Amino acid sequence: MSLETLVDKQYRATLDQTVEVGARLRVPPEGWLRTARKALKMSGAQLARRMKVTRALVSRTERAEADGRVTLRTMRRMADAMGYRFVYALVPNGGVENMVWQRALQLARREVATARAHMALEDQVLDVAAQEEQAQRLARELLEGRASRLWEEA
């Protein structure tokens, strides 16, 4: 196994560990900050005093989180003030391996379709099963080659 393959596996394993947890997590309707504060039975004013900021800033920050405008630094700071540990993660849809395979297959099918169009002009069309077999083979070749090629085009 090459060093590059080993590094790829480590990256994928790091992200794939989030799949199971991420599948169960849903952002609470009021956002994490307000939900966490209320779960502690802490008022906005009490949190503001702990953070040495105004109550209005706590309220604005909670709204900013709900709107997707809060910074990671602010989330961490508020979590710390409440005694929480702030974590964030990127959760791959269906696992990284599957995402990479699906992308390779998408590109391979596109190449097969282009070749099919040219072959049709010469009356040499492959049947559907043969086309899919070709696409699978091309996808494997793509993954064995320069992987960055997978994301060069949309």
Q: Same structural domain for residues 14 and 37?
A: yes
49, 82, 115: which is the final residue of a domain? 82
Whether 28 contacts 39, CB under 8 Å: no
Q: Same structural domain for residues 15 and 75?
A: yes
Q: Same structural domain for residues 51 and 104?
A: no
Q: Same structural domain for residues 33 and 76?
A: yes
Tens digit of pLDDT for each residue in 130-139?
889 999 999 9
Burial of 2 (0-12, 13-18, 19+ CB in 10 A): exposed
CATH code of the domain containing 48:
1.10.260
Q: Distance between CA atoms of 110 and 127, rounded to whole angstroms?
A: 16
Q: Same structural domain for residues 10 and 78?
A: yes
Count the domains in the chain: 2
Whether residue 90 is contained in a domain is answered as no
Whether residue 100 is contained in a domain is answered as yes
31, 52, 82: which is the final residue of a domain? 82
24, 47, 82: which is the final residue of a domain? 82
User: pLDDT at residue 120 above 60?
Assistant: no
Q: Same structural domain for residues 51 and 119?
A: no
pTM: predicted TM-score of the whole model, two decimal places: 0.73
User: pLDDT at residue 29 above 70?
Assistant: yes
pLDDT of residue 6: 86
User: pLDDT at residue 121 above 60?
Assistant: no
- Structure token pair of residue 72: 């990671």
Local structure of residue 122 (DSSP, 8 states):
T
Q: Of 68, 70, 67, which is closest to residue 57 (Cα–Cα)?
A: 70
Structural domain harbouring 44: 3-82
